Amino acid sequence: MESGGSKRRVVVVGGGIAGSILARSIQFNADLTLIDPKEYLEIKWAQLRSKVEPSFAERAVVNYRDFFSNGRIITSTAINITENEVLTADGQHIGYDYLVIATGHSDNVPVSKTERLHYYDAENQKIQSARSILIVGGGPSGVELAGEISTDFPDKKVTLVHKGPRLLEYIGPKASDKGLSLLRSKKVDVKLQQSVDLKSASDGSQLYRTSTGESIKADCHFLCTRVPLSTAWLNETILKTNLDKDGRLKVDEYLRVKGRSNIFAIGDITDVPELKLGHAAIHHAYLVAKNLKLLMGGGKESKMSVYKPGPEVAMVSLGRKHAVAQFPFATLGGRIPGLIKSGDMFVGRTRKHLGLEP
Ligand SMILES: Cc1cc2nc3c(=O)[nH]c(=O)nc-3n(C[C@H](O)[C@H](O)[C@H](O)COP(=O)(O)OP(=O)(O)OC[C@H]3O[C@@H](n4cnc5c(N)ncnc54)[C@H](O)[C@@H]3O)c2cc1C
């Protein structure tokens, strides 16, 4: 395990919120390498606001170097791991003493912050120039986008089509009902239990056919369906037997990959039974930072901190003033939860975790 230098080599694969907070937290305690195919962290829960207000992305897209100064950044994708190395798509072999996997969900996004900001300008242009908009998918992304567009552009006709029986299926039916009535109050036409044939409008007719035979007229569409977990790359690695049937990494109470003494996993990819949310990912990152500092300082494994999921709170924003919030004791919809999330979309709060001005 000794690397030759005085500090242990830690490799963090994935610079989403989990990997970023972890990297920032241990950068002065380890010989640290962060691997991600892009040069920035994107605060994901601000994405839909950035489509209606592109300047919002200036604060929500943060270059790694703004909060991670003491370590190496490799702008590439991890494609394999062995007992002591990570291999990247650009052919590098990076040795580790400790490895943290935080690859969350894979999204096809550009490499630089500048390109990402241009993407939001283009998305905004697409919204501005359309009179009618089709949103496909009624999970958090589709619902938040419908809320944003219908709030900022009330004259546009917004249709949301979802193939399941209710919106926001990852949380409870009360939250779904509140989300549905808020969207309907904003004149969004919500169609459940239908899917859309996107090819049907490729003839230029701007008519999208659904599985029930309806036709929806729309000048453009946004695809907001589920983004897959980024763990398929582990299928041919030493961790292939540690994946559960949903492709999540099985972890122990210290967030170590089960059966491994020096490999941790954090964020959405873990099999911890809890809602997969950013605030849980942040909690994982701080816990693993603490455990790594202990181990790297020669502490005993038995002294590591144990992860206990916190109370589950899920919030879905519906434009600048409204939201739906599911707390363990109640589900609320409207302006009160909107006061918590919908103004700044937790961007300032998240930036503070990174040691940045809100
Ligand atoms: C619309 C929406 C709204 C949300 N709202 C909230 C909210 O209000 N509150 C909340 O707490 N949570 C919210 N969430 C959930 C939250 O975004 C996720 O739980 C959180 O982003 C998970 O973080 P992560 O670091 O595990 O993974 P991700 O954010 O998915 O990051 C994974 C990182 O790994 C990188 N990566 C992937 N594969 C590889 C590879 N092979 N090699 C190297 N790097 C790789 C990716 O580029 C990415 O940077 C929301 C999500 C969405 C989509």
Query: Measuring CA to CA, how many Å separate 192 from each of 126, 195, 211, 226?
Result: 25, 8, 11, 16
Predicted confidence (pLDDT) per residue in 100-129, tens digit: 999 999 888 999 999 999 999 999 999 999
Query: For the chain, what percent of residues have pLDDT higher than 70?
Result: 99
Euclidean distance between CA atoms 210 and 190, whole angstroms: 13
Residue-wise burial string across 52-76, b where 16 or more C-beta atoms lie within 10 A, e elsewhere: bebebbebbbbebeebbeebebbbb
Report if residue 90 sits inside a domain.
Answer: yes
Q: What pLDDT, on a 0 to 100 scale, did the predictor assign at position 138? A: 98
Question: Of the candidates 91, 14, 4, 20, which has an alpha carbon nearest to the alpha carbon of residue 62?
Answer: 20
Report if residue 97 sits inside a domain.
Answer: yes
Residue pointed to by tokens 């170097």: 65
Quote the pTM value: 0.96
Bridge partners, residue 189, by sequence: 159
Q: Domain limits at 289?
A: 9-37+76-107+227-310
Q: How many domains are there within the chain?
A: 1
Strands 157-162 and 132-136: parallel
Report if residue 60 sits inside a domain.
Answer: no
The CATH number given to whatever domain includes residue 283 is 3.50.50.60
Report if residue 197 sits inside a domain.
Answer: no
Residue pointed to by tokens 């207000």: 53
Report if residue 178 sits inside a domain.
Answer: no
> At 5, is the pLDDT very low, low, confident or very high (cuts 50, 70, 90)?
low
Predicted confidence (pLDDT) per residue in 236-253, tens digit: 999 999 999 999 999 999
Nearest CA to ligand 1 atom 7: 45
Euclidean distance between CA atoms 57 and 157, whole angstroms: 25
Predicted confidence (pLDDT) per residue in 170-189, tens digit: 999 999 999 999 999 999 99
Q: What pLDDT, on a 0 to 100 scale, did the predictor assign at position 106? A: 85
Query: For the chain, what percent of residues have pLDDT higher than 90?
Result: 95
Euclidean distance between CA atoms 308 and 257, whole angstroms: 16
Q: Mean pLDDT throughout 314-322?
A: 97
Tokens at 193, concatenated: 């239990």
Report if residue 289 sits inside a domain.
Answer: yes
Report if residue 63 sits inside a domain.
Answer: no
Question: Of the candidates 91, 100, 20, 6, which has an alpha carbon nearest to the alpha carbon of residue 351?
Answer: 20
User: What distance in angstroms lies between residue 265's CA and the mean position of ligand 1's atoms?
Assistant: 14
Q: CB atoms < 10 A from the CB of 213, how many?
A: 7
**Using an 8 Å Cβ cutoff, are 112 and 23 in contact?**
no
Query: In the structure, which protein residues have their CB atom closer than 6 angstroms to any atom of ligand 1?
Result: 13-19, 35-38, 44-45, 47-48, 77-78, 102-106, 140-141, 144, 230, 233, 267-268, 276-279, 281, 315, 341, 346
Report if residue 329 sits inside a domain.
Answer: no
